[in-house]
Amino acid sequence: MTQHRRPATPQAAHLKTDQEIRAHARTVHASAIVIDANGELALGQVPFDRVTPDQSFADAQRSGLTALSYTAGCWGPGALLSYENVLADLARWHGHLARYRQRLRLATCAEDIRAAKADGRLAIVLNVQDASILGRDLSVLDLLHGFGVRQVQLTYNTRNLIGDGCTERTNAGLSDFGAAVVRRLNELGILIDLSHCGRQTTLDAAAVSTRPVACTHTAARARRDIPRNKRDDELRAVAATGGVVGVVAVPSFLTNKSQATLDDVLDHIDHIVDGIGVEHVGIGTDRGVSFETATREEYYAWLAPLGFKPEVNPPWPPGVEGLACAADLPNLTEGLIRRGYDDDAIRSILGGNFLRLYEHTIGER
């Protein structure tokens, strides 16, 4: 795998003023296919129920997003992800896709994302973040595929029948059933997401998968040592499949400082680019398109049943300064210019790499 590192001479050198940099950032951002490989669009679901649909679509416009991968399942307070919740939320989202068809389109192939860019809509890639909902029945994957799901994370934070999550006390590899799940996901053309998986499960899944895999929303453990972040060898294993690692905008994953900033996001991007090459890096904010207006109490009540341990429990306020939500993504483009990335590299990070990954997994059309 060739490694395109950052150029020695920053291209920003020829951009003299802040004004010139910002203008250039707007041009690059507007020309890019921008993909948030793990985001959230508020259309009434907890805990984003105070953001109106109009606000959501205005923020989506501001973000410049072409596609967003939405997690079906609607983890409400007290309700863990379940098969019933996922089906109910998929039903709701198919309703949204019909109701807001001027704004949204379902993406079940890479071409849908390009078409969304052309007609100014936001493409939605439906994902499920905990394959425990399969129980021990592989055919549930066919059902999910039929309902448009194109991205499935093998585990959430804790153990399931497939593998261990990253906060689990153990570090089990992929089970026999897990290996069968990976093979079926490969056959169906569903992107395998390893973001929350434990280390051995991540390495095993990358080894077993015959198609590229992703960590859609994580950060570099070398920069911030928490279980939710990926060690360098895991990042290399994902890249070796031709996969992509999406960097989060979750403050506590980026830094132990009380306030994370855009620079922290850029530091993680730099680290991962240096380690595995710019063609394997993308964005998965793990944030809403809009800044959530839930209160501190509501926010923690929502997180409580999700198996987070204190060391990875996101702090309050939940936003990174400068990248509090996907609507702030144009700031990231400006930041990448200031860090010396050229236009092609920036476009690949913003979404080009995930688009290629989708082509290789869910298919071109």
Amino acid at 272: I
Q: Which stretch binds another protein (CB under 8 A): 106-114, 171-179, 339-347, 356-364?
A: 171-179
CA distance 328 to 320: 10
Q: Residue 130 or residue 286: which is nearer to another protein going by CB? A: 130
Q: Assess 238 for contact with another protein (CB under 8 A).
A: no
Cα Rg of the chain, angstroms:
19
Of the pair 179, 188, the CB lying nearest another protein is at 179
- Judged by DSSP in three states, 197 sits in strand
Residue 359 carries which side chain, given as an amino acid letter?
E
Residues 32-91 contacting another protein, CB under 8 A: 80
Residue 226 in the binding site for another protein (CB under 8 A):
no
**Binding-site member from 139, 170, 210, 258 for another protein (CB under 8 A):** 170
128 CB-near residues (< 8 Å, 6+ apart)? 71, 72, 73, 86, 144, 149, 151, 152, 153
Q: Select from 48, 177, 291, 358 the one that contacts another protein (CB under 8 A).
A: 177
Nearer to another protein by Cβ, of 15 and 303: the residue is: 303
CB of 171 to another protein, least distance (A): 8
Say which residues have a Cβ less than 8 Å from residue 307's Cβ, sequence separation at least 6. Answer: 156, 157, 158, 165, 167
User: By C-beta, is 198 or 335 nearer to another protein?
Assistant: 198
Task: Tell me: does residue 101 bind another protein (CB under 8 A).
Answer: no
Stretch that binds another protein, among 45-53, 155-163, 186-194, 232-240 (CB under 8 A): 155-163
What is the C-alpha to C-alpha distance for residues 35 and 350, in angstroms, rounded to an integer? 6
Residue among 41 and 179 whose Cβ is closer to another protein: 179
In the complex with another protein, which residue's Cβ is closer, 164 or 328? 164
Angle between helices 232-240 and 199-208 (to 10 degrees): 10
Q: Which one-letter amino acid corresponds to residue 227?
A: P
For the bound state, the minimum distance from the C-beta of residue 133 to another protein, rounded and expressed in Å, comes to 11
Using CB under 8 A as the binding rule, whether residue 112 contacts another protein is answered as: no
Question: DSSP string covering 230-295, please?
Answer: BPHHHHHHHHHTT-EEEEP--HHHH-SSSS-BHHHHHHHHHHHHHHH-GGGEEE---SBSSPP---
Q: Which residues bind another protein (CB under 8 A)?
A: 80, 132, 135-136, 158-161, 164, 167-179
